[in-house]
Structure 1
Amino acid sequence: MTYFNVGEIVNTHGIRGEVKVLATTDFAAERFAPGEILYVKQGSQKPVKLTVKSHRQHKQFDLLTFEEITNINEAEQYKGSQLQVTEQQQTPLEDGDYYYRQIIGLEVYSLEDELLGKISEVMETGANDVWVVRRPNGKEVLLPAIKDVIQKVDLDKQRVIVDWLEGLDEQ
């Protein structure tokens, strides 16, 4: 079974087993809703199934309790662990939307079919995402993920066709 990270347990909170989670999902309210199933992964061990009992926000963190964890001693063992969901639990995306894991690693080609590099990272900005393209020469170029630039994403061929803007490579 394939698992995907949705958050990291960074600490405990209180003595009743509540944990402080740094979310790595855009769907935190849905993922961490009471009754939802999450899996906690520690090292190479098999993921442990947990049922969300409660969820609340505190500053930039999500505070969760689980049916299976009733005190701080039980929660302590999971500090630093990843919270995960299965592939079947993932939220379906609209056409033209992609998970970061689908974009990272794609080769970037120009309209003229020239290999420009490979996407190494996706950065979130206020207006739009920015894809970091590592050029064959090792330099990185920031590519805005907007319709004028991104012409086609072909997951089957593991490539992206872009309208490479004049001056993007100049530094």
Structure 2
Amino acid sequence: MREPRCLTVAKILCPRGMKGEVQINSLTDFPTRFKPGTTFVLYPPLPHVRWLTIEDAKFRGDKINLKFKEINDRGDAEKLRGHLLEIPIEKAEPLPRGSYWFHQIIGLEVVTTEGKSLGRVVEILRTGANDVYVVRPLGRGKEILIPAIKEVVEEIDLRTGRIMIKVIQGLME
């Protein structure tokens, strides 16, 4: 899999107020990146906006409201709905040992400790308690949901493109 140039860190949900604020859904484990002066790539870009710089950030529980320097009214904020905020890959926070970016996991083959191939990871769900890998079988069959927990995931090997899992009771039912 090709290394991306940018990483998605948030999705813009909706406008807030009349002065161009937006509410976002943070997709990062590093909420400290949402501070005044931080610049993001807008994806997909709008004809007149490619970069957005935070002017003000308000944290309200699990919600984050942002005011960008480039957006000054509710109409322009509405145009951002559904767009993504990204950062250049070189500005990504270093991950702890044993942690991976989603783009590194998606596409990997999932194999049991007995050597049976279950398919490839096509999506990662964030459940709050732990991530869940959505595995699509190579042939026919239903997608398999694999919890990304140490009791199940034995090894992630980016070099070989494989995730080794231990099948625990109830996992494949």
Taking structure 2 as the reference length, what is the TM-score of the superposition?
Answer: 0.82
Give the partner amino acid of 1:18: E
Residue 149 (1) aligns with residue 152 (2): yes
Give the partner amino acid of 2:133: W
Q: Distance in 1 between matches of 2:25 and 2:86?
A: 12
Taking structure 1 as the reference length, what is the TM-score of the superposition?
Answer: 0.83
Which residue in the other structure is 1:40 paired with?
42
Residue 65 (1) aligns with residue 67 (2): yes
Q: Distance in 2 between matches of 1:13 and 1:96?
A: 38
Q: Distance in 2 between matches of 1:42 and 1:124?
A: 23
Which residue in the other structure is 1:122 paired with?
124
Q: Distance in 2 between matches of 1:80 and 1:125?
A: 21
Counterpart pick for 1:162 among 162, 165, 168: 165
Structure 2's unaligned 5+ residue stretches are none
Q: Distance in 2 between matches of 1:121 and 1:25?
A: 16
Q: Greater CA deviation, 97-106 or 57-66? A: 57-66
Residues 9 and 146 of structure 1: is their aligned pair in 2 closer, same or farther, counting only changes over 3 Å? closer
Give the partner amino acid of 2:142: K
Residues 45 and 101 of structure 1: is their aligned pair in 2 closer, same or farther, counting only changes over 3 Å? farther
Give the partner amino acid of 1:159: R
Q: Distance in 2 between matches of 1:9 and 1:142?
A: 27
Residue 5 (1) aligns with residue 24 (2): no
Counterpart pick for 1:99 among 98, 101, 104: 101
Which residue in the other structure is 1:50 paired with?
52
Q: Distance in 2 between matches of 1:23 and 1:126?
A: 13
Q: Greater CA deviation, 83-92 or 54-63? A: 54-63
Structure 1's unaligned 5+ residue stretches are none
Which residue in the other structure is 2:82 paired with?
80
Cα distance, 1:9 vs structure 2: 2.0
Count of aligned positions: 169
Residues 47 and 106 of structure 1: is their aligned pair in 2 closer, same or farther, counting only changes over 3 Å? farther
Contact 1:42–1:78 under 8 Å retained in 2: no
Q: Distance in 2 between matches of 1:94 and 1:46?
A: 37
Q: Alignment identity in percent?
A: 37
Q: Distance in 1 between matches of 2:66 and 2:97?
A: 32
Q: Greater CA deviation, 85-94 or 156-165? A: 156-165
Q: Greater CA deviation, 89-98 or 135-144? A: 135-144
State the 4+ residue runs in structure 1 displaced beyond 6 angstroms. 44-47
SS class of match (1:57): strand
CA RMSD of aligned residues (A): 2.5
Q: Distance in 1 between matches of 2:7 and 2:48?
A: 14
Contact 1:17–1:72 under 8 Å retained in 2: yes
